[in-house]
């Protein structure tokens, strides 16, 4: 098997590529390096630098490839509100261009990085594959559009597609991310107060990156032709609880927590049921939020010079 990982120089991609290498799978990476870093990859990984929206680049990257793991994305809810057109162009149109290129290149399978919370919107949790998608941000709408095109290409062209709806993923190499986990960790390390937008009661489902990467590999191996699965910890954690955990792990409970007005487009309450992923993929997360966050904090401390420069 030869696999192409789009966005492979990013946070999830870097660790996924490492896991694929450990399993002896030949892997190529396509990344435009707008946010990912080439030094996140090992020395033996083939890198094609380019954009998923460029058919010529895709033709080169897909040559000889059997399966694609599509991680490249415009990944921020808040940034999608600031620039919904760019978000659509990368996440929706970019996915469509990639799907067409996969068909042209004879690729057999594509696994897509979708999202649970942003795509489904404000619904009574736990959400699952039967929940009605009703996104409240351009980011969620773009991911829903990507899922629709996966389903269409499975039906029209026989491409085997799987959309994995990720929970809020955290872990090492996430220093470029703009979400709560990264911001809270950096503040705790440098000694700045943690800022929460809203009253702190908003909740999320946090999943350690290594557990996610195992699920992605399982989706590549599984006999799935046109499917959607939630990959989540099934544990609801409020933003306030997250902040308090990080301050406690960092030994900086003296820093305190500040509250500012809530931001539009962010889901109020979210966590997912992963029954289908357990059944179909054998999904079984290893890390608890406490153990995974401790590992992530250790990485941020050891790599402080890297993210301070960035």
Average pLDDT of the chain, as a whole number: 96
Question: Residue 310: which pLDDT band, with cuts at 50, 70 and 90?
Answer: low
Kindly report, residue by residue over 263-308, the tens digit of the pLDDT.
998 999 999 999 999 999 999 999 999 999 999 999 999 999 999 8
Report the percent of the chain where pLDDT is more than 90: 94
- 190 in a domain, yes or no? no
Which of 109, 30, 119, 41 lies closest to 80 in space, CA to CA? 119
Taken in order 21, 18, 72, 216, the sign of the CA dihedral is positive
57 within some domain: yes
| CATH number for the domain harbouring residue 41 | 3.40.50.720
139: annotated active-site residue = yes
In this predicted structure, the answer to whether residue 45 has a pLDDT above a threshold of 90 is: yes
Residue 292 is assigned to a structural domain of this protein:
no
Q: Which is the catalytic residue, given 139, 149, 170, 208?
A: 139
Name the band, by pLDDT with cuts 50, 70 and 90, for residue 178.
confident
Token output for 56? 């010529």
| Average pLDDT rounded to a whole number, residues 19-33 | 96
In this prediction, residue 205 has a pLDDT band, given cuts at 50, 70 and 90, of very high
Asked whether the predicted pLDDT for residue 203 surpasses 90, the reply is: yes
Per residue in 65-85, pLDDT tens? 999 999 999 988 999 999 999
SS3 content of the chain, % helix, strand, coil (to 5): 45, 20, 35
In a domain, 254, yes or no: no
Residue 175: pLDDT over 80: yes
Residue 200 is assigned to a structural domain of this protein: no
Q: What distance in Å separates the CA atoms of residue 285 and residue 295, rounded to the nearest whole number?
A: 15
Indicate whether 305 belongs to any domain: no
Range of the domain at 79: 2-170+207-235+269-286
pLDDT value of position 119: 93
* pLDDT above 90: residue 95: yes
Residue 8 lies in a domain: yes
Q: Is residue 191 part of a domain?
A: no
Please report the beta strands in 149-239, taking only residues with DSSP state E, as ranges in sequence order: 160-166, 168-170, 194-197, 203-204, 206-208, 226-231, 237-238
pLDDT given at position 250? 97
pLDDT tier at 309, thresholds 50, 70, 90: confident
Residue 75 pLDDT:
81
Q: How many domains, in total, are found in the chain? A: 1
């Amino acid at each position: 098997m030869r696999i192409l990982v789009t966005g492979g120089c990013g946070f999830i991609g870097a660790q996924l590529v490492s896991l694929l290498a450990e399993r002896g799978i030949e892997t190529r990476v396509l990344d435009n390096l707008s946010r990912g870093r080439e030094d996140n990859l090992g020395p033996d990984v083939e890198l094609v630098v380019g954009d998923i929206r460029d058919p010529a680049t895709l033709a080169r990257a897909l040559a000889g490839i059997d399966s694609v793991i599509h991680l490249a994305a415009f990944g921020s809810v808040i940034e999608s509100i600031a620039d919904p057109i760019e978000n659509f162009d990368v996440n929706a149109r970019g996915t469509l261009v990639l799907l067409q290129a996969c068909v042209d290149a004879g690729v057999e399978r594509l696994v897509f990085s979708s999202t649970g919370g942003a795509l489904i919107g404000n619904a009574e949790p736990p959400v699952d594959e039967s929940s009605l998608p009703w996104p409240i941000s351009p980011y969620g709408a773009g991911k829903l559009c990507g899922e629709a095109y996966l389903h269409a290409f499975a039906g029209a062209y026989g491409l085997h597609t799987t959309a994995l709806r990720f929970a809020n993923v955290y872990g090492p190499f996430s220093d470029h991310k703009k979400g709560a986990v990264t911001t809270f960790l950096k503040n705790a390390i440098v000694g700045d107060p943690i800022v929460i937008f809203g009253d702190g009661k908003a909740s999320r489902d946090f999943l350690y990156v290594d557990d996610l990467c195992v699920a992605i590999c399982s989706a590549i191996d599984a006999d799935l032709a046109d499917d959607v699965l939630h990959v989540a910890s099934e544990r609801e954690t409020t933003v306030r609880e997250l902040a308090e955990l990080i301050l406690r792990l960092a030994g900086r409970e003296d820093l305190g927590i500040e509250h500012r007005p809530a931001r539009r487009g962010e889901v109020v309450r979210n966590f997912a049921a992963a029954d289908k992923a357990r059944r179909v993929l054998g999904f079984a997360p290893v890390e608890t939020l406490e153990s995974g966050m401790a590992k992530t904090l250790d990485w941020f401390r050891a790599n402080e010079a890297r993210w301070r420069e960035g």
